[in-house]
């Protein structure tokens, strides 16, 4: 009886920990994955929810995602899609609710220096929202750390050259409107 208990204990704690591999992948990717969600959603709480969902989905099909090189593009793509879905739901709710002004307070932006900058950032976000979807996606993904043109292209299924030219157009449009 004691022997059974001990071996059960070992099985639970010791060498076979199914989440061990996932922990590693989270450590390597969490910052970027979170930022992708954040660039779309604009607040930490929602971004964390989307990022967590992305990692849990990755975990479900972890057998095929064990290698880091496969994991990275997969999780980038999935978190971007999850964030877009959330944003869509959010906009739908916003359109339904009357008190829509209350929501987009950019107070929790880390590192933003002063009130004026916060106001400008709020305006910038709204202008990004107004960009054509193709340009907006490229811009949002390109603003994430460690995401070069080919990473962005992998998420969106377009060549790196297209990413660069769309990014340029997006910045030009923003430059025009952010007076």
Partner 1 sequence: MKNACEIWKDQLLEAALTGSLTAGLEEHLRTCTICSEELGNIRARKARLDTLLPFVAQRSEPSANFRAQVLAAARAAREGKRARPWRVWRLAGATAVVVVVLMMGLTLQRRTARMIPENELAAAQKLTEWRAPSDGLLVTPGQEILRTMPRLGESYLDVPVKTDEEE
What residues line the site for partner 1 (CB under 8 A)?
A: 18-19, 22-23, 26-27, 30-31, 34-36, 38-39, 42, 44, 47-48, 51-52, 55-56, 59-60, 109-112, 117, 120-121, 124-125, 128, 140, 143-145, 168, 171-172, 174-176, 178-179
Six-digit token string for 69: 């090189």
**CA-to-CA distance for 4 and 60, rounded, in angstroms?**
30
Residue 109 near residue 118, CB atoms below 8 Å: yes
Measured from the CB of residue 74, what is the shortest distance to partner 1 in angstroms? 16
Residue closer to partner 1 by CB (options 97, 148) is 148
Nearby residues of 121 by Cβ (< 8 Å), 6 or more positions away: 106, 109, 112
Q: Residue for token digits 């059974």?
A: 4
**CA-to-CA distance for 140 and 150, rounded, in angstroms?**
14
Measured from the CB of residue 2, what is the shortest distance to partner 1 in angstroms? 25
Residue closer to partner 1 by CB (options 52, 162) is 52
Residue closer to partner 1 by CB (options 39, 153) is 39
Measured from the CB of residue 176, what is the shortest distance to partner 1 in angstroms? 6
**CA-to-CA distance for 157 and 151, rounded, in angstroms?**
10
Measured from the CB of residue 96, what is the shortest distance to partner 1 in angstroms? 26
Residue closer to partner 1 by CB (options 20, 99) is 20
Which letter does DSSP use for residue 106 in this model? G
Residue 141 near residue 153, CB atoms below 8 Å: no
Residue closer to partner 1 by CB (options 73, 97) is 73
Measured from the CB of residue 127, what is the shortest distance to partner 1 in angstroms? 10
């Amino acid at each position: 009886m004691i022997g059974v208990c001990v071996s059960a204990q070992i099985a639970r704690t010791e060498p076979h920990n199914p989440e061990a591999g996932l922990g590693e992948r989270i450590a390597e990717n969490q910052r970027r994955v979170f930022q992708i969600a954040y660039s779309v959603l604009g607040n930490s709480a929602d971004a964390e929810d989307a990022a967590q969902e992305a990692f849990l989905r990755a975990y479900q099909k972890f057998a095929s995602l064990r290698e880091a090189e496969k994991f990275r593009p997969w999780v980038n793509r999935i978190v971007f899609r999850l964030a877009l879905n959330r944003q869509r739901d959010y906009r739908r709710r916003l359109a339904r609710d009357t008190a829509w002004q209350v929501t987009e307070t950019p107070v929790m932006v880390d590192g933003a220096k002063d009130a004026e900058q916060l106001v400008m950032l709020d305006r910038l976000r709204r202008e990004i929202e107004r960009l054509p979807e193709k340009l907006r996606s490229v811009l949002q993904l390109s603003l994430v750390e460690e995401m070069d043109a080919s990473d962005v292209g992998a998420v969106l299924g377009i060549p790196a050259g297209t990413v660069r030219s769309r990014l340029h157009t997006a910045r030009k449009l923003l430059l025009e409107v952010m007076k």
